[in-house]
Copies of this chain bind each other. A is one copy, B any other.
C-alpha cells in the first residue's frame, strides 16, 4: 500500500488534484494506494495534538494511522513562501515517537504556481525526513506553473506526466 499525501490543508488544492492524478497512474499499474489530504486535519489540531497533547486527538491519530499502515509514501508538496506548507510540518511535529514514517521509503513531488517548482521546499523536507530516518527517493519532480498545466483535473503537460511516471518506476524499485 502506498499513501499519497496532499501536503496542504487548503480546500480543493492543486496538491489534491495532483494526488488524484498520481493515484490514477499507480492504479494503471495495479498498485494499491490511498490519498491522505491534509484538509482533513482537525481545525484546532495545533492546540490538541502537539507536545503534551501528542496522541490525544482522535481525528489526528486517524490520519497518522493511515501512514502507519502503508509501506511507502508520496508527498505532493506545494511551495509556500519558499518552503513547505507550515501545516505539513505541523502534521509531522505531531507524530508520536517513534516516528511512524521511520525506515519507510518516500517520494516527493514539488508543485508551484511560480518558477521554482518547490526546489527549496523539497530540499527542506528531505532534511526533515532524513533526520527522522525516512529514506527519500533521489528523483523529485518539480512541477512549476502548475495552474497553467492543469485542466479539469488532468495534466495538460505531457512532460509532467512523464516525470511522474519515471518517479513511479524508480519508487517501485527503491
In chain A, positions 41-94 with a C-beta closer than 8 Å to chain B are: 41, 43-48, 50-52, 80-93
Contact assessment for B120 and A130 in the assembled complex, using a CB-CB cutoff below 8 Å: no
Contact assessment for B120 and A117 in the assembled complex, using a CB-CB cutoff below 8 Å: no
Please, which residues of chain B bring their CB within 8 A of the CB of A46?
Answer: 9, 41, 43, 45-46, 87, 90
**CB of A29 to closest CB in B, whole Å:** 20
Instruction: Indicate if A132 sits at the interface (CB-CB under 8 A).
Output: yes
In chain A, positions 23-48 with a C-beta closer than 8 Å to chain B are: 41, 43-48
Contact assessment for A126 and B126 in the assembled complex, using a CB-CB cutoff below 8 Å: yes
Docked complex Cα distance between A131 and B80 (Å): 10
Instruction: Indicate if A142 sits at the interface (CB-CB under 8 A).
Output: yes
Docked complex Cα distance between A132 and B80 (Å): 11
**CB of A104 to closest CB in B, whole Å:** 10
Docked complex Cα distance between A119 and B83 (Å): 12
A125 closest partner in B (C-beta): B83
Task: Identify 10 new A-B residue pairs, CB closer than 8 A, beyond the known A45-B46, A116-B119.
Answer: A43-B47, A81-B89, A82-B128, A85-B89, A86-B88, A86-B89, A89-B90, A120-B123, A132-B138, A136-B136
Residues in A lying within 8 Å of B, measured CB to CB:
9-11, 41, 43-48, 50-52, 80-93, 115-117, 119-120, 123-124, 126-140, 142, 144, 174
The 9 A-B pairs with the shortest beta carbon distances in the complex, nearest first, are A86-B90, A86-B89, A82-B131, A43-B47, A119-B119, A130-B138, A43-B44, A44-B44, A86-B93
